[in-house]
Amino acid sequence: MIPLILSLRKPETTVKKGLLRAGLHFSLPGKFGHTGDLLVTVEETQVLLRDRDGTLGAFIEKIPMTWTLCHFGGQRPWFICPGSRGGHRCGRRVAILYVVGRSFLCRPCGSLVYESQQQDRLTRLEDKARRIRLRLGGDTALNTPFPAKPKRMHWRTYERLRQEGEGAEYALLVALGEKLQHLQQKMDKLALRSACMPT
Ligand SMILES: [Zn+2]
């Protein structure tokens, strides 16, 4: 659903390798949901992420960081989620950030943004599909056969609108299917969680 962008889950190994210490500069290969490399600069209190030629376009993102002491010495780095939920800054201390659109967020913030983006997309597709049917003299119901060519309309215009309309309807169906799948996964997780609750 949301590609993993940067993980601090095994800081012991990465710190040992010298990757995550303030003052370091390195690049993560394109496997983190990008086509291009992500350039990372670690500072005392923030990580700078740069993506000059990846799918996100040129940008620089500053992610606040914090360090906690480890049991066996050394320090463990954490991201501080820069997202916001319910009008409040999230600020969660997390080891993993996800990329949603152009934002780097913790899982709960990422899911919220992802869901609202998906909802916007559904609404746009539905509006487009209905608009085209209306233009062809049909009504706004999408579960009826596609309207026939209006008498005065050129075939070429009709074919173009039909292609656009049916394309939007198909994309809408696919997006609805994905949404259902997403909801199903959420419900399965909830069911699993409540099944594990002590009685
Ligand atoms: Zn968050």
Give residue 95's domain range.
4-105
In the reported structure, the alpha carbon of residue 82 is separated from the centroid of ligand 1 by a whole-number distance in angstroms of 6
Residue that terminates a domain, selected from 76, 105, 134:
105
Task: Give the pLDDT band (50/70/90) at residue 155.
Answer: very high
Ligand 1 centroid, distance to 111 Cα (angstroms): 9
Same domain, 99 and 169: no
Output the CA 118–ligand 1 centroid distance in Å: 18
Contact yes or no for 76/87 (Cβ under 8 A)? no
Considering only residues 21 and 135, tell me which one the structure prediction assigns the higher pLDDT: 135
In order, the DSSP letters of the chain are ---EEEE-S-HHHHHHTT-SSTT-EEEE-TTTT-SS-EEEEE-SSEEEEEESSSTT-SEEEEEEEEEEE-TTSSEEEEEE---EETTEE---EESEEEEETTEEE-HHHHHHHHHHHHHHHHHHHHHHHHHHHHHTT--S-SSSPPPPPPTTS-HHHHHHHHHHHHHHHHHHHHHHHHHHHHHHHHHHHHHHHHHHS--
In a domain, 91, yes or no: yes
Name the domain boundary from 70, 89, 105. 105
Q: Indicate whether 198 belongs to any domain.
A: no
For residues 78 and 65, is the Cβ–Cβ distance under 8 A?
Answer: yes
Q: What is the torsion angle, in degrees rounded to the nearest 10, for the CA atoms of residue 23, residue 83, residue 104 and residue 182?
A: 150
End of a domain among 56, 90, 105?
105
Ligand 1 centroid to 193 CA: how many Å? Answer: 22
Q: Which residues pair with 115 in a beta bridge?
A: none
The better pLDDT of the pair 116, 7 is held by: 116
- The pLDDT assigned to 31 comes to 47
Measured in Å, residue 27 CA sits from the centre of ligand 1 at 24
pLDDT at residue 144 in the model = 93
Judgement on whether residues 115 and 59 belong to the same structural domain of the protein: no
Radius of gyration, CA atoms only, the chain: 23
Same domain assignment for residues 84 and 142: no
Indicate the number of domains in the chain. Answer: 2
Structure confidence by residue, pLDDT tens digits, 39-85 = 777 788 888 877 766 556 666 788 898 888 877 777 777 889 999 88
Are 73 and 8 in the same domain?
yes
Residue that the structure tokens 């990372």 belong to:
40
Tell me, yes or no, whether 64 and 144 share the same domain.
no
Tokens of 23: 């003052």
pTM of the complete model: 0.63
CA of 92 to the centre of ligand 1 (A): 6
Query: What separation in Å is there between the alpha carbon of 83 and the centre of ligand 1?
Result: 5
**How many A from CA of 94 to the centre of ligand 1?**
8
CA of 104 to the centre of ligand 1 (A): 9
Note whether 100 and 10 are same-domain residues. yes
* Residue 199 lies inside a defined structural domain of this protein: no
d(CA 112, CA 87): 12
pLDDT digits (tens, 9 = 90+) for 84-143: 888 899 999 988 888 777 778 888 898 888 888 888 999 999 999 999 999 999 998 999
Give residue 90 CA to ligand 1 midpoint distance, Å: 5
Does residue 130 share a domain with residue 98? Answer: no
